[in-house]
Amino acid sequence: MQDKDKLEIYLDRKSINKRVKAIADRITQDYKGKVPIFIGVLNGSFIFMSDLVRQVKLNSEIDFLKLSSYGDNKISSGEVRLLKDLNCVLADRDIIVVEDIIDSGLSISYIRNLIANHKPNSLEFASLLYKKTTVKLDFKIKYIGFKIPNKFVVGYGLDYAQKYRNLKQIYVLKH
Give the active site residues: 103
Instruction: Pick the piece of the chain touching ligand IMP (CB under 6 A) from 11-19, 30-38, 54-62, 97-105.
Output: 97-105
CA 45, 48, 50, 56 dihedral sign is: negative
47 binds, among Mg ion, ligand IMP, none (CB under 5 to 8 A by kind): none
76 binds, among ligand IMP, Mg ion, none (CB under 5 to 8 A by kind): ligand IMP
Q: Are 98 and 38 in contact (CB under 8 A)?
A: yes
Q: Taking CB under 6 A as the rule, which mask of x and - marks residues 142-161 in contact with ligand IMP?
A: ----------xxx---xx--
Longest dimension (CA), the chain: 51
Write a three-state SS string for 111-145.
Answer: HHHHHHCCCCCEEEEEEEEEECCCCCCCCCCCEEE
Interactions with ligand IMP, residue window 13-42 (CB under 6 A): 41
Total interface residues for Mg ion by CB under 5 A: 1
Distances (CA, A) of 48 to 77, 121, 137, 161: 24, 24, 22, 19
Name the residue among 107, 151, 118 with its Cα closest to residue 7: 151
126 scored as a contact of ligand IMP (CB under 6 A)? no
Distance, in Å, from the CA atom of 27 to the CA atom of 12, rounded to the nearest integer, reads 23
Interactions with Mg ion, residue window 13-72 (CB under 5 A): 44
Nearest approach in angstroms of CB 88 to Mg ion is: 20
Total interface residues for ligand IMP by CB under 6 A: 19
Name the residue among 95, 106, 31, 105 with its Cα closest to residue 63: 95
Q: Taking CB under 6 A as the rule, which mask of x and - marks residues 51-90 in contact with ligand IMP?
A: -------------------x-----x--------------
Name the residues that contact Mg ion, by CB under 5 A. 44
Name the residues that contact ligand IMP, by CB under 6 A. 41, 44, 70, 76, 99-108, 152-154, 158-159
